[in-house]
A and B are shown apart, each in its own frame.
Chain A
Amino acid sequence: MTSNVSITLQNTDDGRGIVAAIIADNPEAVVSTYPAMTKIDCPSRLIMNKTSIEQQLGREFDLHELNLTMVSISGNVDEDDDRLLLMWNV
């Protein structure tokens, strides 16, 4: 059985761009929108690509900037310069 990983982001201008990038790259992602934040759940693994986020935001994006927008995550993080991968290490 797979359990969900999730990430929650603030509803800021950057946040919306990142959410759009995540949805584009993760077809199985389920998005729940709340007044001030957006929670994304995804079965077993979720990937955030630097290039997709940059395309959405129209500027260079350092994946560390994610911390300015992120409210919470669940899952083990595997991060390099180009992508951040959320999954459960089993």
Chain B
Amino acid sequence: MALEIKTNSVRQRQQTFSNVARRLGSDKPASRYEEATYDLQPDVNFHYRPTWDPAHEIFDKTRTSIIMADWYDLKDPRQFYYGTYTIQRSRMMEAVEKNFAFAEKRGLLSTYDPEWQAMVCFYLLPLRHLEWGANMNACNMVDQGYGAAITQSAMFATMDRLGIAQIISRIGLAMGGASTLDQAKDYWVSAPEWQPIRQLVEDSFVVEDWFEQFVAQFLSLDGLLYPLVYGHFDAIGLERGAGALSMVTEFMVDWQEEISKWADTVLKRAAAESDTNRTFLAQWYGEWTERVQTALLPLAEKVLGPTAKDILASLRESLDKRAMRLGIQIEAEIAA
């Protein structure tokens, strides 16, 4: 008996979800990121306004002065959705664990120049409180923001900030146990060098406009603080034998580079939308960066000495250039 083998090819009726297909303009396979992002947030049929803010809907575009025709244009270039985000971070965290194990086994975090150890306790450990503040700000963006594209990435940032605070805490514990962290909290609350920074962080909690908060936190504050602390402070540490500290803070350096890609893409897109947006962004950037630069100076002077002012000025200059590249005109230049 002859057996005839027939092949049937089955064509699926749809390549992706309808809501995604409508956005992409055709029914072609969408990436996981697109499927996990587009139109995820409800935007119709809200029956009641929130009792805590009756002036707005639960999800409301008017909670910021920034206006976007489509809030899903603020996509994340890293294409993070839950799966990719957790895989990426777990990879980074593995390296951190490895470095901690290396440093702790040899006691490297508590055996370098004692004078510099005291300085590290002063400049690095209080940052865990600042990171918690950044977590609060990102949480507020998630709460007030519009569109899953930006709130999803902001949610991931909240976790990043807690993670960084934990890494800093672990450094403190390795340096001298819980009392070191208590000491660091004292610095945060009462050392004069820290007060302008603490005030800045606390003021950023009560910013009404969540997009302004985004600019203040992820561009102005992080843009100056990270290169100062993990760049310039760290470089002095290397001269003082604190190489192991650079290993365990490498996460922050890598993370800052990565998160900047997200912040830059979002800001660039928002600035490109309209002149009104650009004006708001420039105004916020100008105000906050000026404040951050002033607030960081006492701390920078304590660690770096008399060169602090010039170093901060040069960091400011490169941050201004970055803002220019994003299409955020700086006011002084508009006036000029």
- What residues of chain A have their CB less than 8 Å away from a CB belonging to chain B? 11, 13, 16-17, 34-35, 57-59
Contact = CB atoms under 8 A, between A and B. Distances in A.
B9 A58 contact: no
SS class of chain B's interface: helix, strand, loop or mixed?
loop
A11 B88 CA distance: 22
B88 to A, nearest CB: 7
B10 A59 contact: no
A13 B31 contact: yes
B29 A17 contact: no
Contact of A17 (B9, B11, B31): B31
A59 B29 contact: no
Contacts of A57: 79
A25 to B, nearest CB: 18
B29 A58 contact: no
B77 interface: yes
B10 A35 contact: yes
Nearest to A58: B79
B106 interface: no
Nearest to B29: A16
B234 interface: no
Given A35-B9, A35-B10, A59 B88 contact: yes
Interface in B128-152: none
Contacts of B31: 13, 16-17
Interface string B62-83: 0000000000000011111000
B76 A58 contact: yes
A58 B33 contact: yes
B32 interface: yes
A13 B31 CA distance: 6
Contacts of B84: 59
**Chain A interface secondary structure, helix, strand, loop or mixed?**
loop
Interface in B22-39: 29, 31-33
A58 B32 contact: no
A86 B29 CA distance: 26
B36 to A, nearest CB: 11
A59 B9 contact: no
B9 A11 contact: no
Nearest to B76: A58
B32 A13 contact: yes
A10 to B, nearest CB: 12
B149 to A, nearest CB: 13
Contacts of A35: 9-11
A34 B12 CA distance: 11
| Ranked 9 nearest A-B pairs via Cβ | A58-B79, A58-B78, A13-B32, A58-B77, A16-B29, A13-B31, A35-B9, A16-B31, A59-B78
A43 B33 CA distance: 33
B29 to A, nearest CB: 6
Nearest to A17: B31
Nearest to A35: B9
Nearest to B11: A35
A90 B84 CA distance: 43
A32 to B, nearest CB: 12
A35 B29 CA distance: 12
A34 B88 CA distance: 31
15 contacts: A11-B29, A13-B31, A16-B29, A16-B31, A35-B9, A35-B10, A35-B11, A58-B33, A58-B76, A58-B78, A58-B79, A58-B80, A59-B78, A59-B84, A59-B88
A11 B77 CA distance: 22
A75 B121 CA distance: 60
A17 B77 CA distance: 13
A34 B29 CA distance: 12
A80 to B, nearest CB: 24
A75 B279 CA distance: 53
